[in-house]
Structure 1
Amino acid sequence: MADQDSRPLAGRIALVTGATRGIGRATALALAGAGAHVIATARTQGGLEELDDEIRALSGAPATLVPLDLIDGDGIDQLGLAIHQRHGRLDVLVHAGAMLGGLWPVSHLDPQQWDRVVSVNLTSSYRLIRSMEPLLRQSEAGRALFLTTGAVPRPRAFWGAYAATKAGMVTLVRCWADEIEHTKIRAILVDPGAMRTKMRAEAFPGEDPETLPGPAEIGPMMVELALSEPGLPSEPVLFSAWKASRAAT
């Protein structure tokens, strides 16, 4: 392990949602490896404890574990208050928590399932922005990363709930980015593309997962974005383009 003071995110406070699986887990590990203190949220205590074991082994320091369902808006507010009381600021927010909600014709969507997908994919983004913006403003360089998807610009049959809620999230983040243009906060949309995750397997059960990049590959990009200069890209940052640019150098 590198000396903590030499790591690029040493001393930074990072909140990661959906931290026990896929891209959220990979991001939490990458941020911790870069020196950040990770506040990890997910629904399962067991998954969080397994993540903490890995973070301790990687960085020599524990994470802060917060069992939280993203539909719990009051819980998000309480988390914001707890971060304020303990740290006084937030340097990095990564909103990786999301749900597919199944693939159904729009007319066949179950109302309760629809409401949950909206809560997890869209409303939670609003609640996180509402609760965490004051903390990000206290950072010297607050960075907020939100995961989007290729299903937003290319909607297709049966993806109505996921695509619509992610499109709403993208619009919400872009509006917020315009509002905070003259602050030290940068809001960033990230499109990871096809990755070897549980959600991808749910959407494409016949696909060979070994043909896809593993979530760990996106970790260095997320660290780089957490360190990025101010300004919002006009389009989401594409992992494939970032990877290609690194391969060319």
Structure 2
Amino acid sequence: MSLLELPSAAPRPLAGRVILLSGAHGGLGAEAAKACAAAGATLVLLGRRLPKLNRVYDAVAQCGPEPVLYPLDLEGAGPDDYAELVDRLEAELGRLDGVLHCAAEFRGLTPLEHLDPAAFARAIHVNLTAPWWLVQACLPLLKQAPDASVVLAVDDPARVGAAYWGGYGVAQHGLHALVGMLAAELAATAVRVAGLQPGPMRTPLRARAYADDVGEDLRDPEAYAGACVTLLSPAGAAWRGSVWGASAGNAGQ
């Protein structure tokens, strides 16, 4: 199946599902939100910048079911904040069928030797610890769904494992490991875990590393929104426990 195609088996493959989307106002997150809404999902839009979150809300509301806004800063949130989030989801929506994590933070290429220790710790926390705390808090509610999915957007480990990628690069390797580890532990449950590794995208995050990025394979985040829908839908079972490595025109396990 082409990465750019939505699942064809059903016109609204996420109908009736509640999906929590972190990083909802980011490049990939905003496009994934619109695609998931068009596929029938009720979205809980999580992000730290309320004005941007409101703009995504307006766009999503035109595509599908009315979403729910949940402003939250992953840098400052703790386990209790995620537990409160899940309690509110259960009380107000009664279910949770998927988590799509698109949030990421990267502040620029810096030699490790000169990287501020606090900046390194912040990058590890926002890009690895916080996503895990979020997923961990959601697992009890996800396990109540007949078919639930956790999808983590990850970066190319070969690229961000090179020089100067700092805490962000280290955290991305951790996310790749988390996909396989968590999937193995949940293999006997109805909760599927997968990663999505998009190809190069035109986003502010990438621009901080590549000032003059004109690669032929560079695409807008919209090109990968369909893959998010696929992984959150029943069709995503094909990628259980794996990272879907994607390019502009094709995808593979």
On whether the aligned pair clears a TM of 0.5, the verdict is yes
Matched residue, 2:223: 217
Matched residue, 2:58: 53
Segment drifting more, 68-77 vs 91-100: 68-77
Q: Tell me, what secondary structure is at the counterpart of 1:164? A: helix
Matched residue, 1:178: 184
What root-mean-square deviation, in Å, do the aligned CA atoms of Structure 1 and Structure 2 show? Answer: 2.2
- Kindly indicate whether the alpha-carbon contact (under 8 Å) linking 1:181 and 1:231 is maintained by their aligned counterparts in 2: no
- Kindly indicate whether the alpha-carbon contact (under 8 Å) linking 1:152 and 1:167 is maintained by their aligned counterparts in 2: no
- Kindly indicate whether the alpha-carbon contact (under 8 Å) linking 1:89 and 1:137 is maintained by their aligned counterparts in 2: no
Asked if 1:150 corresponds to 2:156, the answer is yes
Cα displacement (A) at 1:78: 1.3
Matched residue, 2:86: 80
Asked if 1:122 corresponds to 2:128, the answer is yes
Residue in structure 1 matching 2:66, options 35, 42, 62: 62
Residue in structure 2 matching 1:19, options 13, 21, 24: 24
| Higher helix fraction (1 or 2) | 1
TM-score if structure 2 supplies the norm length? 0.88
- Kindly indicate whether the alpha-carbon contact (under 8 Å) linking 2:184 and 2:241 is maintained by their aligned counterparts in 1: no
Q: Tell me, what secondary structure is at the counterpart of 2:170? A: helix
Cα distance in 2 between the residues matched to 1:196 and 1:122:
23
- Kindly indicate whether the alpha-carbon contact (under 8 Å) linking 2:149 and 2:232 is maintained by their aligned counterparts in 1: yes
> Per-residue CA shift, 1:224-245, capped at 9, x if unaligned?
111125365564102218x326
Cα displacement (A) at 1:139: 1.1
Matched residue, 1:43: 48
Cα distance in 2 between the residues matched to 1:115 and 1:129:
20
Unaligned runs of 5+ in 2: 1-9
- Kindly indicate whether the alpha-carbon contact (under 8 Å) linking 2:22 and 2:102 is maintained by their aligned counterparts in 1: yes
Unaligned runs of 5+ in 1: none
Cα distance in 2 between the residues matched to 1:152 and 1:142:
30
> Per-residue CA shift, 1:179-235, capped at 9, x if unaligned?
100111110011002111111111101113886211111111111111125365564
Report the CA distance shift for 1:170/1:151 in structure 2 as closer, same or farther (over 3 A).
Answer: closer
Name segments (4+ residues, structure 1) moved above 4 Å. Answer: 231-235
Cα displacement (A) at 1:43: 0.6
Over the matched positions of the two proteins, sequence identity in percent amounts to: 32
Q: Tell me, what secondary structure is at the counterpart of 1:58? A: coil
Q: Tell me, what secondary structure is at the counterpart of 1:143? A: strand
- Kindly indicate whether the alpha-carbon contact (under 8 Å) linking 1:122 and 1:169 is maintained by their aligned counterparts in 2: yes
> Per-residue CA shift, 1:141-167, capped at 9, x if unaligned?
101100111135762110121110111
Counterparts of 1:165-204 in structure 2, within 5 Å, are 165-204=171-210
